A and B are shown apart, each in its own frame.
Chain A
Amino acid sequence: MSDTPLLEVRNLKVHFKLPGTLLRPKSGGSVKAVDGVSFHLNRGETLGLVGESGCGKSTTGMAVLRMTPVSGGEIHLEGEDITHLNGRALRPLRRRMQMIYQDPFGALDPRMRVLDIIGEPLKVHKLVTGRKAYRQEVLRLMDLVGLLPDMCERYPHEFSGGQRQRIGIARALAAQPDVIICDEPVSALDVSIQAQIINLLKDLQEELGLTYLFVAHDLAVVRHICDRVMVMYLGHVVEVADSETLYTNPQHPYTQALLSAIPIPDPRAESRREVDPSIEGEVPSPVNPPSGCPFHPRCKHATDVCKQVAPTLQDTEDGHGVSCHLYEPQSEAEPSTRVASMA
């Protein structure tokens, strides 16, 4: 592994303009869907991007793929600035970054055979020559994701949700990408099938050395697949850490509340846990975000500073970053009780 991260994002901003009124067309303002997000992704690792709806996690993924206009900041792929590539120059990039979508029903063209769905990237990027090699490669990919060869002549409607997701994964792999962006890849699936797909993604990573940016709202799923996790709230990163640290020693009040809100499938463990209903209300509208720290209206520890000044993400040496005024990196050894005592 070289020193340059595979993907590096600096101060990424994605703002969407809102339509104004008829008489004042510029009065609409804008939604700051992503507002100053920075992170890096090393080759072979899985970075989880988590948060509730509207936090900007999917938009971040789309911006990295250059599928949505970027309003500010920089995106580097293997040291190369790809933020402003356009038209033809984007083509090779399209091969290097692939996406696995949430909805296995909407992501596949119903009129194409599985053979052609999976094979399309091979044709587009001219990765194989000759029909025999093409078919062989598709069958290899199908085998890789656990689909049977005789399924290749069938159409998407003949498959269940889990199998369709396998087709989507095979298509992403066909392009031999450097980075795969998984946008909620298992959230539309049933539990028993979800586990099959999570395991498949892990096995493929091990076998092929894949790099994933894993966008999800389900922190329990993320725990099983990610090396590092980044928590987003209203377009900002509130905490980033390696998986183990984030789950056992979360520092940001939002991360803490998020984790305590998720029930554990074990009644005995649940009876020992305290449900922390401290997080009141819902995520505010990104059209009119709160001043200062975006989380302060729901935060029980919020002080006057939090209402006025937006905190910045403080990085510690071990890669644990927290965007909170009440957080002091030097007392890392102490667990989360300190945040409570500050209030």
Chain B
Amino acid sequence: MSEAIANQPLGNASAPGTTSSLLQVDSLRTVFRQGRREVKAVDGVSFSVARGETLAIVGESGSGKSVTAMSLLRLIPSPPGEIIDGDVFFDGRNLLDMTEDELRDIRGNEIAMIFQEPMTSLNPVLTVRQQLAEPMRVHHKVKEEDIEARCLDLLRQVRIPDPETRLDAYPHQFSGGMRQRVMIAMALACEPRLLIADEPTTALDVTVQAQILELLKDLTRQHGSSMILITHDLGVVARYADRINVMYAGRVVESGTALEIFEQPRHPYTLGLINSMPRLDASEKARLIPIEGQPPDLGNLPPGCPFSPRCPFAVDQCRREDPPLEPYQGQHLKACWVNVDE
């Protein structure tokens, strides 16, 4: 863990767009409109990712973690979605101000994405060779005559056995875990500087999950790439993240290093998540402490802090005013009016 601590990024202290962090997101807002209803899926999210760092975004369904990731690359279907505010600086350039052509140069090239569903994210009528080669051809990264060698090399890197014969196979001939390896190989094809992995192992069995995550860790470390790991699994986060953003109702409610988040959680929601998570090393049949109530309706948020109706620590102020994300200690940030001391 000492490594993770030494890796502490410069984070929010840096001015937007400076070169200290690879990615800098400032007050990002994405909404989805349905008739007169407006759902604030991402509601003023700011964070940064340092070079070589793995940032985990954790939250339950509907917390806005995936929409945040999709917004970074402007992959939100519009309509109904729209990014209404914010900046996303990647290496000093604002992705949200770019033309579609400029952005296409970045997608799959400097920033690559791995999606949750390896079954549906690959094209069923193209061979693995065609799909692996596509990003390299589009971005002119590799000379045409070297593409085959590079494809084989990528399949070897993601440890697909017998790559020569597998290269001309179709996705349906692969198992779920193998398809996710192909997805990773595609994402790595242009050696991206930032990898966004959206629940990369949720659809997979646990022994395969461990293999895929170890692989992602090794490969990002090898290439010195940064990673945004989106997941609902706190165990995965504990094993692989340097820093963590906890999201609830479209906002970051707490942000800190893995040790800070797990050992001194300062937001009641983070605390609630940790207490309600079943643990393998729990004492026998230990009782879980759930978070009471139901997740909020994003189209109809309560006034004040969105967590206040479920929060055991809530005071009057919480029901009136929305707490900003502010430093608690150094780079450990929290959005809460109350001081939660265990």
Chain A positions within 8 Å of B, measured between CB atoms, are 52-53, 160, 162-163, 190-196, 198-199, 202, 217-221, 223-227, 243-244, 247, 257-271, 275, 277, 279-280, 282-283
Q: How many residues of B contact A (CB 8 A)?
A: 50
A270 CA to B274 CA, complexed, in Å: 15
| 4 A-B pairs with least C-beta separation | A263-B235, A195-B290, A195-B276, A265-B234
B118 CB to nearest A CB, Å: 13
- Cβ contact within 8 Å between A267 and B259: yes
Secondary structure at the A interface, as helix, strand, loop or mixed, is helix
Known: A52-B205, A191-B234, A195-B290. A224 touches B210 (CB 8 A): no
Chain B residue with minimal CB distance to A190?
B60
**A residues in contact with B292, CB < 8 Å:** 196
- Cβ contact within 8 Å between A282 and B205: yes
A283 CA to B206 CA, complexed, in Å: 11
A287 CB to nearest B CB, Å: 13
- Cβ contact within 8 Å between A160 and B278: no
- Cβ contact within 8 Å between A282 and B175: yes
- Cβ contact within 8 Å between A220 and B280: yes
- Cβ contact within 8 Å between B206 and A194: no
- Cβ contact within 8 Å between B279 and A190: no
A-B contact count (CB 8 A): 152
- Cβ contact within 8 Å between B285 and A243: yes
Chain B positions within 8 Å of A, measured between CB atoms, are 1, 4, 60-61, 175-178, 205-211, 214, 232-239, 258-259, 262-263, 272-282, 284-292, 294-295
- Cβ contact within 8 Å between B239 and A263: yes
B234 CB to nearest A CB, Å: 4
- Contacting residue for B206 out of A196, A243, A258, A280, CB 8 A: A258
**A residues in contact with B234, CB < 8 Å:** 191, 265
- Cβ contact within 8 Å between B207 and A257: yes
- Cβ contact within 8 Å between A220 and B235: yes
Known: A194-B276, A277-B211. A271 touches B1 (CB 8 A): yes
**A residues in contact with B279, CB < 8 Å:** 220, 223, 264-266
A323 CB to nearest B CB, Å: 18
**A residues in contact with B262, CB < 8 Å:** 265-268
**B residues in contact with A277, CB < 8 Å:** 210-211, 214
Q: A202-B285, A263-B238 are in contact. List 12 more A-B contacts (CB 8 A).
A: A53-B205, A191-B60, A198-B288, A220-B278, A221-B278, A224-B285, A243-B285, A258-B207, A265-B237, A265-B279, A266-B262, A277-B211
A320 CB to nearest B CB, Å: 15
